[in-house]
């Protein structure tokens, strides 16, 4: 693998994380980190997830996830229902408060991307979206 490919991918990653503010301690000027928002996303879009399913899906550290879920419970964003089939597993669900919190974050994310795209032409937006789709196709081969 040529070193210039590695350098270019890393340069793109630095550029893009700067564009969307991923290096900020709290994403979207919220009180949540990027991994916390990703956990909220998974819980919002998937019913009755287990912690194991989240660690598998996100590749997140079990200990970090455990602390995050505990924090969400304390803030009344998350509820647990113990599995009748496996007493060791709990099904995780966002509370109404948790759903509203995620929806606010999701809307903030939509506004952020809208601000980025509004200065581009329609052709540039189409090229950008098509190239992003191609990046996903190519990188999905690495999983």
Confidence at residue 12, expressed as pLDDT on a 0 to 100 scale: 95
Q: Give the global pTM.
A: 0.88
The per-residue pLDDT for 2 is: 80
pLDDT, tens digit (0-9, with 9 covering 90-100), for 69-106: 999 999 999 999 987 777 778 999 999 999 999 999 99
> What per-residue confidence (pLDDT) applies to 117?
97
Supply the CATH classification number for the domain 26-140: 1.10.10.10
Query: Rounded to a whole number, what is the distance in angstroms from the first to the last CA of the chain?
Result: 18
The mean predicted confidence, pLDDT, of the chain is 93
pLDDT tens digit sequence for 5-21: 999 999 999 999 888 88
The strand pair at 78-82 and 90-94 is best described as antiparallel
Q: Give the per-residue pLDDT at 38.
A: 96
CB-based contact 77:95 (threshold 8 Å):
yes
The C-alpha atoms of residue 125 and residue 65 are separated, in whole angstroms, by 35
What residue segments make up the domains of the chain, in order of their start? Answer: 26-140
Percent of the chain with pLDDT over 70: 100
Residue 143 pLDDT greater than 90, yes or no: no
Q: What are phi and psi of 121, to 5 degrees?
A: -75, 165
């Amino acid at each position: 693998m040529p070193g210039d490919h590695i350098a270019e991918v890393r340069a793109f990653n630095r550029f893009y994380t700067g564009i969307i503010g991923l290096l900020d301690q709290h994403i979207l000027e919220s009180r949540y980190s990027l991994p916390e928002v990703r956990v909220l996303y998974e819980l919002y879009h998937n019913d009755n997830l287990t912690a194991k399913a989240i660690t598998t899906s996100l590749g997140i550290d079990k200990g970090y996830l455990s602390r995050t879920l505990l924090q969400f419970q304390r803030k009344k964003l998350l509820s647990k229902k113990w599995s009748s089939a496996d007493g060791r597993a709990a099904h995780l669900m966002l509370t109404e408060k948790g759903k509203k919190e995620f929806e606010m974050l999701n809307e903030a994310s939509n506004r952020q991307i809208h601000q980025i795209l509004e200065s581009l032409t329609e052709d540039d937006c189409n090229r950008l979206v098509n190239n992003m789709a191609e990046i996903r196709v190519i990188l999905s081969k690495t999983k």
